[in-house]
C-alpha cells in the first residue's frame, strides 16, 4: 500500500495533478510554458506508444512504403527522449519547446505518412484528427500556425511527388474535410490563445489585487499593533471587539517632567518635539526590554503598566526595573544637556500595584486603557513624588522590598486620598546589583527572577 501511495505521489509530482499555484508568471510566455509543463508528462507518454499499433496496419495496407514504420517508431523514440528530459527537472524552462517539438513531429509526420499512403481516406481521417488536436495544445499560436502550415506543405509537396490525384469523388471529399478541419483548427487556435491570454490577464489582476489587499492588511495589522498590545489586537481582529478584563494584580507607572511648561517656553516647537521624541523613544525601548506595556502619553507624561494584558508574577519588579532605567537615562541626558548649556528635564516617577480593569475604548480611534482606584493612586504617587525620584506605594513596596533598597517616607498626604504610605526606590540591593548605583541586575538576581516566573510566585 505504501509503495502504491509513493508511486501515486510521484505521478502527481510530474503529471497535471499539481497543487494550486502560489503565484502566476510575470509574462504570458512563461504562463504558456507552465501550462505546457502541466500536460507534457502525459503527452510524452501517450505519443511514445500512440503510433506503435499502426505499424502492423501500415504493413497490411501499404507494404510498398517501408518509410511508414520508421516515421512511427521515430515518434516513439523522440517522445521517450523528451520524457526523460522532462522528468529530470533540469529543463523546466523548455516545456513549451518540448511540446512544440512533439507537436511538430506528430503533425508533419502525419502529413508525410498520409501523403506516402496516397491520401488514403483512412489516413486522411487520422490526419484531420491530429490537426484538430493542435488547436488544443497550450503553445504560442505562432508556433501552432507554423506547425500546421509545415504539415500541410509536407502533405501537398510529397503528395505531388507521389502523384496523388484528387479526381475521385471520395478523394475530393477527403480534401474538403481536410480543408474544413484546417480552417476550424486555425479558428480554434486563435480562440484558445485569446481565451488563455484573457484568463492569464484576469488572474494576474486578481493576484495583484490580492497582493495589494495583503499589503494593506499588513499595514493595518502593523498600525493596530502600534496602538494595541498584540493579544488585544488579535482579539479585536477576530471578534470585532475587546471584552474588558479584570486583573487582580498589576502595576501602573506614571512619569512626568517637572516644570515642563516653563521649560517648553524657552524652546522652539521643533526643539520641544525632538526632546520629547528622544525621551519617549528611549522609554519605548525600555518597555520592550522589560516586557512592559506602554499605555499612552499626554503632553510630557508617559504612562505604562506591568502585568497587562498578559498577567505575570513579576509585574512590580519589571515596572521598578523599567523606572530605574528611565531614571538613569534622564540623569545621563541631563548631564549632557547641562554641559552644552541646554535646559534639563527633571523627572518624577510614581508607581502603584493593585487590582484594575483594562480594555479598549473608542470606535474610530482605539485606545487600550486601564481603570480603577489603583490607577488613580499611581497618579498620586507621581504627583506626590520628588524630582529625579521613584515614588512607590505600600502595595508596590510589599512586592519589591526583598530586592530593592528603599527609603521610607511615612504617611504622605495625597490629593483626594488622604495620608498614604510611600517609599522612594534607591536601587537594587547590593547583593542583586552588578553596578554601584544598583540599577543593573546581576546573575543572582536573574536566577531568582527566573524562578519567580517559572513558579509564578507573587512577590
Chain segment 109-149, per-residue pLDDT in tens? 999 999 998 888 889 999 999 999 988 899 999 999 999 99
pLDDT for 416-429, tens place per residue?
788 889 999 999 99
pLDDT at 5 over 70: no
Report the pLDDT value the prediction gives residue 21, as an integer from 0 to 100: 56
Four-way CATH pick for 242-455: 3.40.50.2300, 3.40.50.300, 3.30.70.1230, 3.20.20.370: 3.30.70.1230
- What mean pLDDT value characterizes the chain? 87
- With both helix axes pointing from N to C terminus, report the angle between 169-227 and 28-49 in degrees, rounded to the nearest 10: 130
Q: Which three cell numbers stand for residue 350?
A: 510614581
Distance, in Å, from the CA atom of 452 to the CA atom of 253, rounded to the nearest integer, reads 21
- With both helix axes pointing from N to C terminus, report the angle between 67-87 and 54-61 in degrees, rounded to the nearest 10: 170
Report the pLDDT value the prediction gives residue 17, as an integer from 0 to 100: 47
pLDDT at 293 over 60: yes
Report the pLDDT value the prediction gives residue 257, as an integer from 0 to 100: 92
Mean pLDDT of the 148-172 span: 85
**DSSP code of 414?**
E
Distance, in Å, from the CA atom of 335 to the CA atom of 347, rounded to the nearest integer, reads 13
Report the pLDDT value the prediction gives residue 13, as an integer from 0 to 100: 57
Report the pLDDT value the prediction gives residue 312, as an integer from 0 to 100: 92
Report the pLDDT value the prediction gives residue 135, as an integer from 0 to 100: 87
The closest of 428, 99, 124, 458 to 307, measured between CA atoms, is: 458
Q: For residue 406, what are the contacts with CB-CB under 8 A and spacing of at least 6?
A: 392, 397, 400, 423, 424, 425, 426
Report the pLDDT value the prediction gives residue 4, as an integer from 0 to 100: 54
Q: Could you tell me where in the chain the CATH 3.30.70.1230 domains are found?
A: 242-455
Considering only residues 431 and 2, tell me which one the structure prediction assigns the higher pLDDT. Answer: 431
Instruction: Specify which residues 406 forms β-bridges with.
Output: 425
Q: Which three cell numbers stand for residue 211?
A: 497582493
Report the pLDDT value the prediction gives residue 168, as an integer from 0 to 100: 76
Considering only residues 263 and 386, tell me which one the structure prediction assigns the higher pLDDT. Answer: 386
pLDDT for 440-453, tens place per residue?
999 999 999 999 98
Mean pLDDT of the 41-70 span: 91
pLDDT for 198-247, tens place per residue?
988 898 888 888 888 888 888 877 777 777 777 777 777 777 777 888 99
Instruction: Specify which residues 339 forms β-bridges with.
Output: none
Q: What percent of the chain has pLDDT over 70?
A: 93
Distance, in Å, from the CA atom of 420 to the CA atom of 381, rounded to the nearest integer, reads 9
Annotate 239-282 with DSSP letters as a single string. Answer: HSS---EEEEEEEEEEEEEETHHHHHTTS-HHHHHHHHHHHHHH
Report the pLDDT value the prediction gives residue 22, as an integer from 0 to 100: 60
Which residue is associated with the grid cell 498584540?
A: 230
Report the pLDDT value the prediction gives residue 231, as an integer from 0 to 100: 78
CA 245 to chain centre: 32
Report the pLDDT value the prediction gives residue 216, as an integer from 0 to 100: 82
Distance, in Å, from the CA atom of 325 to the CA atom of 384, rounded to the nearest integer, reads 21
pLDDT at 394 over 90: yes
Considering only residues 238 and 369, tell me which one the structure prediction assigns the higher pLDDT. Answer: 369
Mean pLDDT of the 253-268 span: 86
Mean pLDDT of the 169-186 span: 87
Amino acid at each position: 500500500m505504501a509503495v502504491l501511495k509513493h508511486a501515486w505521489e510521484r505521478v502527481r509530482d510530474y503529471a497535471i495533478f499539481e497543487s494550486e499555484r502560489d503565484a502566476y508568471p510575470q509574462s504570458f510566455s512563461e504562463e504558456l510554458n507552465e501550462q505546457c509543463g502541466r500536460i507534457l508528462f502525459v503527452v510524452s507518454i501517450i505519443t511514445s506508444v500512440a503510433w506503435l499499433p499502426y505499424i502492423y496496419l501500415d504493413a497490411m495496407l501499404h507494404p510498398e512504403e517501408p518509410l511508414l514504420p520508421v516515421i512511427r517508431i521515430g515518434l516513439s523514440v523522440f517522445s521517450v527522449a523528451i520524457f526523460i528530459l522532462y522528468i529530470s527537472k533540469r529543463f523546466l524552462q523548455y516545456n513549451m519547446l518540448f511540446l512544440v517539438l512533439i507537436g511538430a513531429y506528430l503533425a508533419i509526420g502525419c502529413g508525410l505518412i498520409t501523403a506516402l499512403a496516397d491520401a488514403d481516406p483512412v489516413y486522411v481521417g487520422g490526419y484531420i484528427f491530429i490537426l484538430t488536436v493542435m488547436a488544443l495544445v497550450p503553445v504560442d499560436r505562432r508556433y501552432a500556425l507554423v506547425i500546421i502550415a509545415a504539415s500541410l506543405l509536407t502533405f501537398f509537396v510529397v503528395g505531388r511527388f507521389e502523384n496523388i490525384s484528387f479526381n475521385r469523388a471520395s478523394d475530393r471529399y477527403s480534401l474538403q474535410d481536410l480543408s474544413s478541419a484546417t480552417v476550424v483548427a486555425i479558428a480554434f487556435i486563435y480562440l484558445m490563445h485569446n481565451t488563455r491570454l484573457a484568463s492569464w490577464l484576469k488572474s494576474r489582476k486578481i493576484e495583484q489585487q490580492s497582493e495589494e489587499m495583503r499589503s494593506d492588511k499588513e499595514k493595518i495589522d502593523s498600525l493596530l499593533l502600534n496602538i494595541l498590545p498584540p493579544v488585544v489586537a488579535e482579539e479585536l481582529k477576530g471578534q470585532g471587539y475587546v471584552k474588558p478584563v479584570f486583573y487582580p494584580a498589576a502595576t501602573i507607572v506614571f512619569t512626568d517632567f517637572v516644570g515642563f511648561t516653563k521649560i517648553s517656553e524657552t524652546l522652539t516647537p521643533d526643539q520641544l518635539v525632538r526632546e520629547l521624541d528622544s525621551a519617549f523613544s528611549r522609554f519605548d525601548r525600555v518597555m520592550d526590554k522589560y516586557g512592559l506595556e506602554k499605555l499612552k502619553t499626554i503632553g510630557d507624561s508617559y504612562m505604562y503598566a506591568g502585568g497587562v494584558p498578559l498577567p505575570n508574577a513579576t509585574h512590580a519588579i519589571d515596572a521598578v526595573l523599567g523606572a530605574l532605567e528611565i531614571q538613569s537615562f534622564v540623569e545621563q541626558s541631563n548631564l549632557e544637556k547641562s554641559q552644552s548649556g541646554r535646559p534639563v528635564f527633571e523627572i518624577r516617577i510614581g508607581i502603584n500595584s493593585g487590582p484594575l480593569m483594562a480594555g479598549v475604548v473608542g470606535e474610530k480611534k482605539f485606545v487600550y486603557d486601564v481603570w480603577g482606584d489603583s490607577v488613580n493612586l499611581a497618579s498620586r504617587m507621581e504627583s506626590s513624588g520628588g524630582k529625579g525620584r521613584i515614588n512607590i506605594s505600600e502595595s508596590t513596596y510589599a512586592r519589591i522590598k526583598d530586592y530593592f533598597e528603599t527609603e521610607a517616607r511615612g504617611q504622605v498626604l495625597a490629593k483626594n486620598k488622604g495620608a498614604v504610605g510611600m517609599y522612594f526606590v534607591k536601587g537594587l540591593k547590593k547583593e542583586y546589583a552588578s553596578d554601584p548605583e544598583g540599577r543593573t541586575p546581576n546573575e543572582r538576581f536573574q536566577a531568582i527572577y527566573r524562578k519567580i516566573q517559572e513558579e509564578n510566585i507573587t512577590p
